[in-house]
Amino acid sequence: MNEAFEAGKNKSVAENLANSKLTQSKLKRLDGQIVRSVVTERDQKVRTMEDELRARFRSEMTAQELEQLELSEEHDKNGRKAGKARK
């Protein structure tokens, strides 16, 4: 956005240019608009395979490993909530 301001553009033009570059980089836009990304057939297959592996690994864990994993997941979840609350 600063580049656009320096080039003499007004605020709305600068925001549009910034949002365009963020969208192209697949990053979160300044205005919060959600941009749908294209998920290819290969991406879907990879996600399915990853989910199956996670389920298999989880089923093979001991009770202690499962407890540690659940604590870690809970910590991550609470960390994201705290981060959202700060914004």
Domain positions in the chain are 1-37, 38-87
> What Rg do the C-alpha atoms of the chain give, in angstroms?
20
What 3-state DSSP class applies to 87?
A: coil
Taking only the tens place, the pLDDT of each residue in 9-28 is 788 888 888 888 887 877 77
Confidence of residue 62 (pLDDT cuts 50, 70, 90): very high
What 3-state DSSP class applies to 29?
A: coil
Kindly report the pTM of this predicted structure.
0.47
> Nearest to residue 2, comparing CAs of 17, 87, 72?
17
Residues 6+ apart with CB under 8 A from 33: 19
